[in-house]
Structure 1
């Protein structure tokens, strides 16, 4: 098992993997800040580094865009990392490479895409859909039937009322209360949530 990334976020993921009995052989990073994490060596890699395609891995990087870039560049056998103190319904679909932290609740008929982060204490209610590369930050709460588009970041302590659709590559600032649909590329802050800017670049149409 390889963990790709050596930041503080990586520490949490390594801790989860070790806690569920998965041996981490090494940690790799393009710009490592440490030589080891929990006694596991960290190796420097570049975009040109070639890995065996049959290697199991988790991408431990908080940036949604960088996780996508790495996932597309390196065809690892990506695995999930689900904390044993999370509460995930057996009627949930979770995509490859997704990580679920401690004290998370995910209720029935939720669909979570690839390489998502469901961070500490987050709540994802019934029938939500989280597309690939989404990050739900600590203590955020999505009520039922919420859709979060690819690459969007829902900040710490955010509340989203039922039935809302958040577009692709949107950012919901910490503590916001989302009561209206959010378009692609929008940044939303406040209570009630309001759009303060929208990124309409082609990058957000991918």
Structure 2
């Protein structure tokens, strides 16, 4: 059975984590694309230069290793690739959840029953997504963040490290939840929320 080659776009810290996930899964990365000409390799894997679709075959699969939610969105919408997800085998993921293509799930993550995770999201180390949550496309849930049941997170929002989201809360699109924030009420689009309890610090536009 033919296994399509896997490529990564982005040669920063996210690429290191994704490469090690692929190694654990025994899936080989054929190369990395990055705009920085000074980066020649990452963890021994070759950096092939700027993104060039002519360098990959039609059946190749791509993963974005980019921390910025907005940049991931722009890349995903313009590259026209087939995407795969990378899920660390230590993650505890319900068989009744759904994960869309392009999403990366790091070590120690828990995703409970009937949760849905959109495309090109990052669920980072030891984060917890409980039952019936809805996590949108291009979301980043940082390490040790915890979402209780029935939480909704809109497209492009960043949930900061160690933050806690109360059950049933709805968080809008392209907002930022600061590190350690405790969110106990709904959050609109395009705001920055900090503190315990969380309060809107400023607009994020």
TM-score, length-normalised on structure 1?
0.93
Unmatched runs of 5 consecutive residues or more in structure 2: 1-5
Q: How does 1:97-136 map to 2 (within 5 A)?
A: 97-136=102-141
What is the CA distance between 1:32 and its match in structure 2?
5.3
After superposition, the CA RMSD in angstroms is 1.2
Report the Cα distance in structure 2 between the residues aligned to 1:114 and 1:32, rounded to whole angstroms: 29
Report the Cα distance in structure 2 between the residues aligned to 1:175 and 1:89, rounded to whole angstroms: 26
Q: How does 1:61-100 map to 2 (within 5 A)?
A: 61-100=66-105
Specify the alignment match of 2:23 in structure 1. Answer: 18
Figure out how many residues of one structure are paired with residues of the other and give that number: 198
Specify the alignment match of 1:198 in structure 2. Answer: 203
Report the Cα distance in structure 2 between the residues aligned to 1:84 and 1:32, rounded to whole angstroms: 33
Instruction: Give CA-to-partner distance per residue, 1:18-55, whole Å, 9 cap, x none.
Output: 11011100011112553111211012215xx3345532
| Structure 1 pair 27–184 and aligned structure 2 pair: CA distance change class (3 A) | same
| Structure 1 pair 67–140 and aligned structure 2 pair: CA distance change class (3 A) | same
Specify the alignment match of 2:53 in structure 1. Answer: 50
8 A contact 1:27–1:42 mirrored in 2 = yes
Determine whether 1:3 maps to 2:22.
no
TM-score, length-normalised on structure 2?
0.93
Unmatched runs of 5 consecutive residues or more in structure 1: 202-206
Determine whether 1:156 maps to 2:168.
no
**1:185 is matched with which residue: 168, 184, 190?**
190
Report the Cα distance in structure 2 between the residues aligned to 1:76 and 1:38, rounded to whole angstroms: 24
